[in-house]
Amino acid sequence: MVTQCGIPPGESFTYVLETKNQFGTFWIHGHTRHQEADGFYTPLIIHSRKQPVIDYDEELLMTFEDWYTGEFYVRQAYIDSLDDARTLTPYYSKALINGYDGNKTAPITFVPGKRYRLRIICMSINNWFKFRIPGHKMTVIEADGVESMPLEVDGLSMGPGQRYSVIVTAHDSADFNYIYNVTSYSRFITDQQGLQPIVYTGLIKYKDGAPTKNIPVVSDDQLVWPEEAQLQAYDKQPRLPVDRQIELTVKRFSNIHYVPFSALGSSLYKSVLVPTLYTALSMGELAKNSSVYGPQTNAYVLKHLEVVEIVINNPAIEDHTFHFHGHNVQVIETGPFGNSSTIDREPVPRILSGPWPMWRDTVQVRAFEFIRVRFRADNPGVWFLHCHLAVHMYNGLAVVLIEAPDVLQQRQSVPEEMVEMCKRQGIHTQGNGAGNQGFDLSGLPPAVYPPS
């Protein structure tokens, strides 16, 4: 529990979102018991009253999902019960495109000469998706709800939780229809022909009955894909000057049953007995001491308005996307970290952002790479920073940012409706992470630390 108690079964709760100047491509999903892994999500599009980066005639929405049989917690409980997890047969997923079996999605209709904005949301829980329309160029104009300077690319590579808007201009002629490609794949599951990776195709229809244009196959390494640090923000904000740096390194290890875990902080993140926001609001001056939140939260306390630089290092063989609640972050730099010779991948170059770093809320940190991001702590609250792969978040790959708790206590209080919702479930709404006073954390389950 980070910001609230879950909504009890059979009850309802109304969220009121104040968007102010926020607009773009988003999605809503549950965080209790990893319900997003079982399909509890939906797109959320906030339209702007401003002139778009590039004018367009029509807007289309595309969603990508990986889909598994059986509920997430059932699968994880089975893995946790194994005496030797190395014997596990990997769970391979199928993919949904716009909510349908990937190869059965309805055609996308293009009218010759028209310019289209495709809003694309990767609502995946574990898989990456690559998207291309051979024979057409795409121009990126938005990432994660933030407008970007136009960048022409051949395709998109999207990790769980990421979103893009691209402009695609239809050809002037309706002589041919075209095929789009969507590739679904995962870095932590063994490749298996027909199961991983899977390429899905769909139709870009210009005219009923028109022949399909034959486009020569081109390998991915010959194509242009947007890189995290390559995009530039449309608002042209320069790099923020740094007041404080936090360095986080993914630590991968296994238990005695060979079940893999990954930690981002000093321990595996585990939910505590009091929503962490409620601890920040009820502990007075002690709320500025990270210890009161419990070691399971990996809490970092931030000062109001300081510029924080976070470096995430990934010396492991698995790719991750990390999602920042409460903030967009400037992507400053990406590059190699660790020994990539252990996998079939060439070392990546260091990429430093241009003068106007892109802001986004979900960033890829691929195997043996690092990323450097910055933001100003101007949004007092309690914010989750977690891997967006459900299996990694389940196993504790997360930290919590406690932002300006002193200012938070002056500005906010917990609505009585939310307090009562917790009480009906027997959940404490005050005190430290264990529901006690001071530094008495008795009652919390033991923290799990990676081997040193």
Q: What is the dihedral of CA 206, 156, 391, 254, to 10 degrees?
A: 140
* Contacting residues for 363 by C-beta, under 8 A, at least 6 apart: 228, 312, 321, 322, 324, 329, 331, 371, 373
The DSSP-derived string for 65-133 is: EEE-SS-HHHHHHHHHH-S-GGGPPP---EEEETTEEGGGPPPEE--TT-EEEEEEEE--SS-EEEEE-
The pairing of beta strand 108-109 with beta strand 198-205: parallel
Distances (CA, A) of 428 to 250, 285, 374, 431: 31, 20, 34, 8
Q: Is 257 left (phi over 0), alpha (psi -120 to 50) or beta?
A: alpha
Q: What is the per-residue pLDDT for 78?
A: 83
Contact 118, 166 (CB under 8 A): yes
Q: What is the per-residue pLDDT for 345?
A: 63
Helix, strand or coil, per DSSP, at residue 166: strand
Residue 368 is given by DSSP the state T
Helix, strand or coil, per DSSP, at residue 401: strand
Q: What is the per-residue pLDDT for 34?
A: 79
* Contacting residues for 203 by C-beta, under 8 A, at least 6 apart: 107, 108, 177, 178, 179, 180, 212
User: Residue 36 CA to chain centroid, in angstroms?
Assistant: 12
Could you give the CA distance from residue 180 to residue 204 in angstroms, rounded to a whole number?
Answer: 7
User: Residue 282 CA to chain centroid, in angstroms?
Assistant: 30
Residue with structure tokens 């999500």?
41
Q: What is the per-residue pLDDT for 343?
A: 57
User: Residue 221 CA to chain centroid, in angstroms?
Assistant: 24
Contact 129, 69 (CB under 8 A): no
Could you give the CA distance from residue 357 to residue 374 in angstroms, rounded to a whole number?
Answer: 10
Residue with structure tokens 């938005």?
142
Rg (CA), the chain: 23
The pairing of beta strand 299-302 with beta strand 398-403: parallel
pLDDT per residue rounded down to tens, the chain (452 residues):
899 999 998 999 999 888 888 999 999 998 887 788 888 899 999 999 899 999 999 999 999 999 888 888 888 888 888 888 888 777 788 899 999 988 889 999 999 999 999 999 999 989 999 999 999 999 999 999 999 999 999 999 999 999 999 999 999 999 999 999 999 988 777 777 777 788 999 999 999 999 999 998 898 889 999 998 999 999 999 999 999 999 999 998 888 888 888 899 889 999 999 999 999 999 999 999 999 999 999 999 999 999 999 999 999 888 999 999 999 999 999 999 977 655 566 678 899 999 999 999 999 999 899 999 999 999 999 999 999 998 888 888 999 999 999 999 999 999 999 999 999 999 999 999 999 999 999 999 999 998 87
Helix, strand or coil, per DSSP, at residue 405: helix
Query: How many residues does the structure list for the chain?
Result: 452
Q: What is the per-residue pLDDT for 329?
A: 98
Could you give the CA distance from residue 260 to residue 316 in angstroms, rounded to a whole number?
Answer: 12
Which phi and psi (to 5°) does residue 96 adopt? -115, 135
Q: What is the per-residue pLDDT for 391?
A: 85
User: Residue 106 CA to chain centroid, in angstroms?
Assistant: 27
Q: What is the per-residue pLDDT for 139?
A: 98
- The HSE-up count of residue 346 (CA atoms within 13 Å, CB side) is 4
Residue with structure tokens 């990539």?
340
Residue with structure tokens 């075209």?
178
Contact 284, 406 (CB under 8 A): no
Could you give the CA distance from residue 150 to residue 138 in angstroms, rounded to a whole number?
Answer: 10
The amino acid sitting at 181 is: N
Q: What is the per-residue pLDDT for 340?
A: 60
